[in-house]
Structure 1
Amino acid sequence: MSKLNGLSTLIIFLIVLSGCQTEYTSTISGSIDYVGSADIFISKQPVHYKYAPKKHFPVTVNEEGNFSLSLPIDSTQLIKFNVNEQTYPVVAEPAQPLKLNISFSHFPDSVSVSGYPKPWDQSYSDYRNKLKPIQQKINNAIPDFREGKQTNITDLYKKRYQIAKKHLFNTPLVDIYYKAVGEYLVKELEEVTYQRTKPDISPKSRRKQILEEAQELNFFTFESLHSQRAGIRDFTNAFANTFGVEDSLEEKYGQELMQYDIKRLGYETLDSARRSVLQYIDQRKAKAYAKMYLVAERIGEMSLEVATPSYKNYLKKYENYPKYTSFLKSFYSQIKKVSPGQPAVPFTLPNKNEEMVSMEDYEGRYVLLDFWASWCIPCLDEFPHMKDLYNKYSRDQFEILAISIEEDSVRWRQSLQQFKNPWPQLYGGNGFQQETFRTYRGGGIPFYILVGPDGKIVRYNDARPSFNLPKLLDSLITPKQ
């Protein structure tokens, strides 16, 4: 065989091998004793917990209670089997079939898995059984903890990760241990925030101690950060909050502020604190992952003018991490489409009388889009201020369109009777997956968009009825005489 033919054969073999690697699947099958109207699906971790598309795979259960699903898997990874709001972690491997036996009424405490090379399902069961009394004590202590009272909650969170380490550290379920470590460290930082005004608390000293403890627990490794609910986000936010920015801003403005007000008004101090944590991350892969989260939060919560420099710098510095840069490019493009000056997102939704209402029906006036739900207390707190604004301006100048993302339409109708808000009420449903909300890249509620008479976006989620919206509207609209 000539060298040329040998090289050609090698190239063909590598191409075929490469193609095969992308076609691996893991078959998840099994039985469940009851389904009813349950929402059952398998989920894989997205690039970003809030801004990236969800990786959900619906599970269809037949009349006999059996199901089977093939998942694309290119490496061993932890996936989640979901029944309504409850989840069960599953170790999926390429070409490795697994069978789950599930008792619906006791899920996720009643799952057995066939196909594991070792009894990892039993390890997880033992972990959950040991965790239950600890979790109950945590639930009981949370209210006092948030009021700044002395509790043993950080000790309880430490026991959580110690239990996880004992049962799961030497298994592919180790991510659960890493996640528990992160939650413990966040609680330690939150304790500093809630108790920072006490004379025996030194926030500076405690921050230093917690950072050192985080290093000892290997929190700043890629494996650990990737296991957290939101990457580095929860830790850095909790760290930044220990600096008392919220107290300073509320003293300055003389009122209680919402979190997104604080994030914008105190951006420079908070962002500096968050970025200071990055110096503790040594691995380049871990730092690329951590910075991706910080850049994404900046794009999602700040103006593009503020977010663009760090976004462009990240693309240049971490171009060899295409998974992260591709996500950020897509997210940046989506946010740019709903930034001030861009056309408002068109939509058509039903009102309480089942009549279809469109955004274009309100051209020629300023329109405040209010995305809300009855379970969102901050949403409800804004209603009195919205009523003041609604009475201050005429309908040919200013309108409010309330878009409910309530999943239960019956509950939505009940809330309309309860609050009796006079502006048009539209029903979107579907929770945070509501189409218009998602197109606007909403991250939480209340979520406000101000649209101008020309149908273009004037303000994107940075004007609130109880805070800065009245002054803004006064600069745009003449009040009724």
Structure 2
Amino acid sequence: MMYRKQFLLLLSFALLASCEKDTQVSGNIDYLGDSNLILKQIPVHYKYAPIFQDTFNVSESDHFEYTTKLDSSEIRLLFIGDKEYPLYLTSGSELLLTIERSTFPKNVKVDGYEEDWDEKYTDYLTAITDLEKKIPVEEEKIKTGQDNDLLKISEKKYELAEQYLKGTPLQDYYLKAIGEHLVFSIRSVEYNQRFYENFNPDSARKAIFAEADSLNFFTIASLKAQRAGIRDFAHYYARTFGIYDSVKTVYGMDLSEYDIKRVAYEELNEKRIQVLDHMKSRDALAHAKMYLIAERIGEQPLEKAQPSYESYLQNFSDYPVYTQFLKNFYKDIKSVSPGEPAIPFSLPDIDGNIHTMDDYRGKFVLLDFWAGWCQPCLEEFPHMKDIYDNYSRDELEIIGISNEADSLVWVQDLQHLNLPWPQLYGGDGFDEETFKAYKGGGIPFYILVDPDGKIARYNDIRASFNFTTVFDSLLEEHNQTTE
């Protein structure tokens, strides 16, 4: 029996391998400069899953060729800088691309498609250009209770996506536009009840769920198309119950969103999981629940995340892609939990001097991952300066590690921020090596390392909120053990 199982397993691998065919992507780009042409697979989770990518070799004549093996069809994303273009790849297909760097991702010509999907996508991008410019302006209006056209504009965007892309291999961008519209709709509930006395949030929520149902938002196809699965919709749905305003009333209006999510996590999470009742299939439920549990693992101490994590592994064992992702992520977070060794680094300061984690052994060290474009990062600096003045360098050192992609921008930031603690340059955005090793999902991101070089706190302290209380307790405990 054992040999038969092994034979069947080997046979299944052989059959899978035999179905794989070479898929070729080649073409020309008129100019690339210092950028790279990168092809990324869409990961199972937008923030915590590993990203698999390939960098194209572009010749001096601006020609590129790439081959991969596929056994089915899928969308992969072609990146130049932070701009992306979706490529529909099928097993055995050959695509020839012509790219205009100055207008990318518009005007990409793709020879090899069965139909003119490349033209439809360019037409869609052109059609929504003005809408994309208006959306941020209308978003600001909704936050302050002004009359706005945000929902009309976002509805127009998904109608254009339907016109150009529904029924094509690029239909995910139609589903994505629907999700964006529904997130804007649910966000409007929070603000409208804040500014309009007679506004009925219960009625508004019911209307949005009805609209979501009519647009098939809670289906597996739709949820997979969203940037963050169900996370964004569930997050803003939870906010419509006034939890943020209640916490701010108790703790003060300066409390950041990060801290509100920490303080009121259980209450917020109770509302988030209500959205799961609207899933249209077990496939959709498995996908949605996986996202919410991943967020819980990433945002809360593991002992709080463990029950729901273990329950998911048991109840959804028939979804091995999701369970394996959660197992890997849980293991990753556990490896950087309090008590584990701090991640070593070797990074330069503004003068080119190299600093390592070992250089600061014997004192507490707060690692601050930040970038100049991150407003919450900047808002913490005045509080961090106060903390830096209140403790000696024998007790506490702060080390800034910049995720800024452009080192010149980092230098300019340092020149006007006047930060007194060591500042090191990591670069590479969220791909910065030390940040990734700590499993960082966003910034600001803080790690407190103890004098023995072990992680003392993992991204649950902030200078503007709880740092002093937490640190004083740790410092007192450390001093008692060393006396």
Q: TM-score, normalised by structure 1?
A: 0.94
In the alignment, is the contact (CA less than 8 A) between 1:30 and 1:67 conserved in 2? Answer: yes
Tell me which residue corresponds to 2:102.
105
Deviation at 1:399, TM superposition (A): 1.0
Structure 2 residue matching 1:415: 3-state secondary structure: helix
RMSD: 1.9
Structure 2 CA distance for partners of 1:212 and 1:468, relative to 1, 3 Å: same
Give yes or no for the alignment of 1:82 onto 2:59.
no
- The separation in 1 between residues aligned to 2:45 and 2:268, in whole angstroms, is 21
- The separation in 1 between residues aligned to 2:207 and 2:450, in whole angstroms, is 50
- The separation in 2 between residues aligned to 1:110 and 1:235, in whole angstroms, is 32
Aligned mate of 1:253, from 239, 248, 251: 251
Aligned mate of 2:402, from 404, 420, 433: 404
Deviation at 1:126, TM superposition (A): 2.3
Structure 2 CA distance for partners of 1:424 and 1:136, relative to 1, 3 Å: closer
Aligned mate of 2:226, from 225, 228, 235: 228
In the alignment, is the contact (CA less than 8 A) between 1:164 and 1:177 conserved in 2? Answer: yes
Tell me which residue corresponds to 2:332.
334
Deviation at 1:129, TM superposition (A): 2.4
Structure 2 CA distance for partners of 1:360 and 1:315, relative to 1, 3 Å: same
Aligned mate of 2:159, from 162, 174, 186: 162
Aligned mate of 1:130, from 123, 127, 148: 127
Deviation at 1:15, TM superposition (A): 5.5
Tell me which residue corresponds to 1:291.
289
Deviation at 1:11, TM superposition (A): 9.8
Aligned mate of 1:276, from 264, 274, 286: 274
Give yes or no for the alignment of 1:28 onto 2:36.
no
Tell me which residue corresponds to 1:264.
262
The superposition leaves residues 158-186 of structure 1 with CA deviations (integer Å, 9 ceiling, x where unpaired) of: 11111111111121111111111100000
Deviation at 1:24, TM superposition (A): 2.9
**Counterpart amino acid of 2:68?**
L
Structure 2 CA distance for partners of 1:474 and 1:15, relative to 1, 3 Å: closer
Tell me which residue corresponds to 1:193.
190
Structure 1 residue matching 2:25: 3-state secondary structure: strand
**Counterpart amino acid of 1:44?**
Q
Structure 1 residue matching 2:254: 3-state secondary structure: coil
Tell me which residue corresponds to 2:434.
436
Tell me which residue corresponds to 1:3.
none
- The separation in 2 between residues aligned to 1:133 and 1:393, in whole angstroms, is 52
- The separation in 1 between residues aligned to 2:263 and 2:372, in whole angstroms, is 27
- The separation in 1 between residues aligned to 2:95 and 2:400, in whole angstroms, is 46
- The separation in 1 between residues aligned to 2:336 and 2:179, in whole angstroms, is 34
Structure 2 CA distance for partners of 1:345 and 1:12, relative to 1, 3 Å: closer
The superposition leaves residues 250-307 of structure 1 with CA deviations (integer Å, 9 ceiling, x where unpaired) of: 1101232222211111111110111000011131111111111111100001110110
Deviation at 1:141, TM superposition (A): 2.0
Structure 2 CA distance for partners of 1:13 and 1:400, relative to 1, 3 Å: closer
Aligned mate of 2:457, from 451, 456, 459: 459
In the alignment, is the contact (CA less than 8 A) between 1:148 and 1:191 conserved in 2? Answer: no
- The separation in 2 between residues aligned to 1:91 and 1:204, in whole angstroms, is 41
- The separation in 2 between residues aligned to 1:261 and 1:210, in whole angstroms, is 28
**Counterpart amino acid of 2:353?**
E
The superposition leaves residues 282-340 of structure 1 with CA deviations (integer Å, 9 ceiling, x where unpaired) of: 31111111111111100001110110111111111111111111111111011001111
- The separation in 1 between residues aligned to 2:160 and 2:204, in whole angstroms, is 25
In the alignment, is the contact (CA less than 8 A) between 2:380 and 2:463 conserved in 1? Answer: yes
Aligned mate of 1:152, from 143, 149, 152: 149
Structure 2 CA distance for partners of 1:383 and 1:193, relative to 1, 3 Å: same
The superposition leaves residues 407-442 of structure 1 with CA deviations (integer Å, 9 ceiling, x where unpaired) of: 122222222221221111111111111111111111
Deviation at 1:136, TM superposition (A): 2.8
Tell me which residue corresponds to 1:4.
none
- The separation in 2 between residues aligned to 1:423 and 1:10, in whole angstroms, is 61
**Counterpart amino acid of 1:119?**
D
In the alignment, is the contact (CA less than 8 A) between 2:16 and 2:71 conserved in 1? Answer: no
Deviation at 1:25, TM superposition (A): 3.3
Deviation at 1:14, TM superposition (A): 6.0
Structure 2 CA distance for partners of 1:13 and 1:357, relative to 1, 3 Å: closer
In the alignment, is the contact (CA less than 8 A) between 2:38 and 2:80 conserved in 1? Answer: yes
Structure 1 residue matching 2:130: 3-state secondary structure: helix
- The separation in 2 between residues aligned to 1:67 and 1:421, in whole angstroms, is 44
In the alignment, is the contact (CA less than 8 A) between 2:24 and 2:92 conserved in 1? Answer: yes
- The separation in 1 between residues aligned to 2:132 and 2:359, in whole angstroms, is 51
**Counterpart amino acid of 2:209?**
L
- Structure 2: state its 5+ residue gaps: 1-6, 477-483
**Counterpart amino acid of 2:423?**
Q
**Counterpart amino acid of 1:193?**
E
Tell me which residue corresponds to 1:355.
353
Give yes or no for the alignment of 1:389 onto 2:412.
no
Tell me which residue corresponds to 1:219.
217
The superposition leaves residues 61-118 of structure 1 with CA deviations (integer Å, 9 ceiling, x where unpaired) of: 1112211111332322222222222222221111011111111112122111111111
Aligned mate of 2:316, from 315, 318, 321: 318
- Superposition pairs of residues 171-186 of structure 1, within 5 angstroms: 171-186=168-183
- The separation in 1 between residues aligned to 2:221 and 2:240, in whole angstroms, is 26
Tell me which residue corresponds to 1:51.
48
Give yes or no for the alignment of 1:93 onto 2:98.
no
- The separation in 2 between residues aligned to 1:12 and 1:342, in whole angstroms, is 39
Structure 2 CA distance for partners of 1:310 and 1:37, relative to 1, 3 Å: same
- The separation in 2 between residues aligned to 1:25 and 1:272, in whole angstroms, is 47
**Counterpart amino acid of 2:33?**
G
- The separation in 2 between residues aligned to 1:16 and 1:50, in whole angstroms, is 33
Please identify, of 54-63 and 136-145, the stretch whose mean Cα deviation from structure 2 is larger: 136-145
In the alignment, is the contact (CA less than 8 A) between 2:57 and 2:64 conserved in 1? Answer: yes
Please identify, of 176-185 and 12-21, the stretch whose mean Cα deviation from structure 2 is larger: 12-21
Structure 2 residue matching 1:441: 3-state secondary structure: coil
Structure 2 CA distance for partners of 1:11 and 1:464, relative to 1, 3 Å: closer
Structure 2 residue matching 1:196: 3-state secondary structure: helix
